[in-house]
Amino acid sequence: MNNILLTRRFFWFFSTAIIIYACGFVIPFFESIGSYLLFVLLILVSIDLLLLLTSGGKPEFSRNFNERLNLGDENAVILSIRNNSRFSFNYELNEGFPDFQQEREKVFFGKLSSGEKTEIKYNLLPKKRGKFNFNDAFLFFRTFIGLIERRFIYDEKDTFHVYPSVLQMKKYELLVFQQQKTASGIKRIRRLGNAKEFEQIRNYVQGDELKTINWKATSRRMELMVNQYQEEKSQHVYCIVDKSRTMQLEFDGLNLLDYSINSSLVFANICLLKGDKFGLFTFSDKIGTQIPADSSSSQMKLVIDALYNQKTKFRDANYELLQSNIRQKIKTRSLLLLFSNFENEFAMRRALPYLQQINKKHLLIVVFFQNSELKKIAYSSPLSLNQLYTGIIAERMITMKARMARELKQYGIQTILTNPEELSAGVINKYLELKARGSF
């Protein structure tokens, strides 16, 4: 009987009857009405209890989901309930959401006939990587009377893993290798300059560079012909992910480290599909993961597993150690994409000598983040003196970030200053631009 509970309807009915009965001390007529209502309540509770206890077997409950969920994306979860009893019941389902899902007030309601099965679909939005469990689910069955309910507990502690977003990886893969790119921030970039690998001779089309015209073929065919080149492949590309304390800042529940991890996975996939060799470094106060650049079929799995397993205590970044390690480990000139975040100009200038050393041998691109929330504050109309001061400070911080980007460029270091939600598109555009120019 531990799973037989009284409902709100019962307490409303019971309270009403007691109040009316108590009024009988003043008006005797109400005492009779209150007694009658309490008697009716007793009869209805008895019928309700009998229907619940003799209804039949325990309802079936199951939870269907992908055991690998995507970080920062909505992942579908389907709950199934089957009524194995002989009667129709109204149900209330309290799903055992994982601890990171703050939706404890979300409850599912419905009605099930005898033998009927229903499915409930909702989306789970994980904001952290790692291994997680669902909690116990609670299912409450009520009859049409609804004075008491029967509770069923399902110890369904299903385990799942939150990985860097494969959905985003596939999305950007389609955008890059199909024609419809501009709607999602991926630019159409025509190849500039001379490529290193000759592919074929073809007819001239408007927009082709005059330098690519093949005059011998043109004289033979009596029409303009051009040489077409394909991109040089097997170039070395590395993502370097900073795991220091400046990367723990959160936007929409996702910290900058996880934005960088998602973007690194997207970028790795594009590089490998373009024929380049991709590698990965992570660091904070110490050097973390080191995956040499490779284009083998197993490289993508290595990268996904490495990004999934990244852990950090968010300590200060050691750029001297990073520069020394890159000098020892990366012997071939490579494109290095450094995901980091500088809090102020002093922090940037402290790292600058080491970034310059790295940039002498490699093509270094520093990716750091603009605070999108500061933009809203800076460019909104102030309604008070306090809001005016806050807006001025926010605008100064935005200007400081832009100044840091300009200063890095003055020292020959390329930069990407971006909002966290636009990170992947910005990184891919820069990579495609450099490929088109043959810059590395």
If you write DSSP's letter for every residue of 263-326 in order, what string do you get?
HHHHHHHHHHHTT-EEEEEEESSSEEEEEEEE-STTHHHHHHHHHHT---------HHHHHHHH
Strand intervals (E) in 143-244: 148-154, 159-163, 197-203, 225-230, 236-242
Please report, in tens digits, the pLDDT of each residue of the chain (440 residues total). Answer: 558 888 899 999 999 888 888 887 777 788 888 888 889 999 999 998 998 888 878 899 999 999 999 999 999 999 999 999 888 999 999 998 888 776 666 889 999 998 899 999 999 999 999 999 998 899 999 999 989 999 999 987 789 999 999 999 999 988 887 754 444 566 655 544 444 556 678 888 877 778 888 888 888 888 888 887 655 567 899 999 999 999 999 988 899 999 999 999 999 999 999 889 999 999 999 999 999 999 998 999 999 999 999 999 999 999 999 999 999 999 999 999 999 999 889 999 999 999 999 999 999 999 999 887 777 777 777 778 787 777 777 788 888 889 999 999 999 999 999 999 999 999 999 998 888 777 66
The CA-based diameter of the chain, rounded to the nearest angstrom, is 118
8 A C-beta contact, residue 213 and residue 224 = yes
pLDDT at 386: 80
pLDDT at 191: 47
Q: What tokens were used for 323? A: 């520069």
8 A C-beta contact, residue 272 and residue 238 = no
- Per-domain boundaries in the chain: 1-163, 166-191+232-437, 197-230
**Which class would CATH give 1-163?**
mainly beta
pLDDT at 193: 43
Task: Return the CA Rg of the chain.
Answer: 32
Which helix (H) or strand (E) is 194 found in, with range? none
8 A C-beta contact, residue 147 and residue 8 = no
**Which class would CATH give 166-191+232-437?**
alpha beta
| Other CB atoms within 10 Å distance of the CB of residue 126 | 25
Q: Number of C-alpha atoms within 13 angstroms, CB side, residue 226?
A: 13
Taking the CA atoms of 368, 261, 419 and 426 in sequence, report the sign of the dihedral they define: positive
Please state the length of the chain.
440
What is the pTM (predicted TM-score) of this model? 0.81
- DSSP codes of every residue in 83-115: --BSS-EEEEEE----TT---TT--EEEEE-TT
